Amino acid sequence: MSISTTLSSINQITKEITRLEKALLDETKKEADITKKINSTKKSITKNTSVSTVNSKLGQIERYENDLVKTLNKKTDITKKIAQKREKLNSLNQKLQKEEQVESKRRQKEQEKVQKNYENRIDELTAQLKNNVSSNISEVGINTLDETLFEEKYDVFISHASEDKESFVRELADTLMKDYNIKVWYDEFSIKWGDSLRKSIDKGLKSSKFGIVIISKSFIKKGWTNYELDGLFQKEMTYGKTILPIWHDITKDEVQDFSPSLAGRKALNTSMYTIKEIAEELKNILDE
């Protein structure tokens, strides 16, 4: 039985218990009403009451007492059913607890697997970066390498999904450049007609001090964004802090599922920070 099925059973039994408790309350009120009628009828019999009237009232009392017995039997039956339902509810709650523990262990194993895959990927990227650096050194010499590979022409590279341009990214890039004089690599401004997309992105990644990563639902589904993110991770492994994450219309659980390492970093959230506040934060980092 799955957690959702168990929860459904718990909700159903809880509703049944509520219904039975209401029925028990109704029978309790009925019991009180019948008892009141019996006592009232008994009090109405006095020394001056005629024999025929006494017999009539005694017959009425007998009928009330029969109704009272039926009500007490119903109460006993309902009480028994409530006890059975509560016992079953307790059993289901224990079952739910065990199922949740199993599910928690399963998720933990999946997270550990994701983390392991991520660490392996970082190792692969690190080895690839070292090979690339060695190759560049052998081909162009250390002096040329200093001028080309490590030259920083941009303050920040913006990695994003195209679906987020209208809602956030384009305005962020405009604000950083026009209002804060920050040099930004942004595809709409930096890639010219006829340029190689991959080469332009590689050049932008190598030539930027930091990489702003706009993590959104669209971002985590894209191939290009993952390519850019791998490049930023490569650079960070060599030069230190490079990636500056921004969460845009996405939850922590969704980021966690995509990349545990990114979920563990301090990020700015567009639901809490305005574009101006984000720009101020970046400006402070660049001024350090």
DSSP E strand stretches across 97-231: 154-159, 184-185, 208-215
DSSP E strand stretches across 202-287: 208-215, 243-247, 268-269
> Is 228 among the residues known to form the active site?
yes
Measure CA 129 to chain center.
35
DSSP, collapsed to helix, strand or coil, labels residue 47 as: coil
DSSP, collapsed to helix, strand or coil, labels residue 211 as: strand
Q: Which long-range contacts (CB under 8 A, 24 or more apart) does 92-96 make?
A: 92/6, 92/9, 92/10, 92/13, 93/10, 95/1, 95/6, 96/3, 96/6, 96/7, 96/10
Report residue 161: phi and psi, to 5°.
-95, 140
Do residues 148 and 198 lie in contact, with contact meaning Cβ atoms separated by under 8 Å? no
**Which residue out of 21, 62, 124, 228 is catalytically annotated?**
228
Any idea how long the chain is? 288
DSSP, collapsed to helix, strand or coil, labels residue 152 as: coil
Q: Measured between alpha carbons, how far is 273 from 279 in angstroms, rounded to an integer?
A: 10
Measure CA 233 to chain center.
26
- Name, in order, each residue with C-beta under 8 angstroms of 45's C-beta and a sequence gap of 6 or more: 53, 54, 57, 58
Query: Could you tell me the two tokens for 215?
Result: 């993590």
Which residues are identified as catalytic?
228
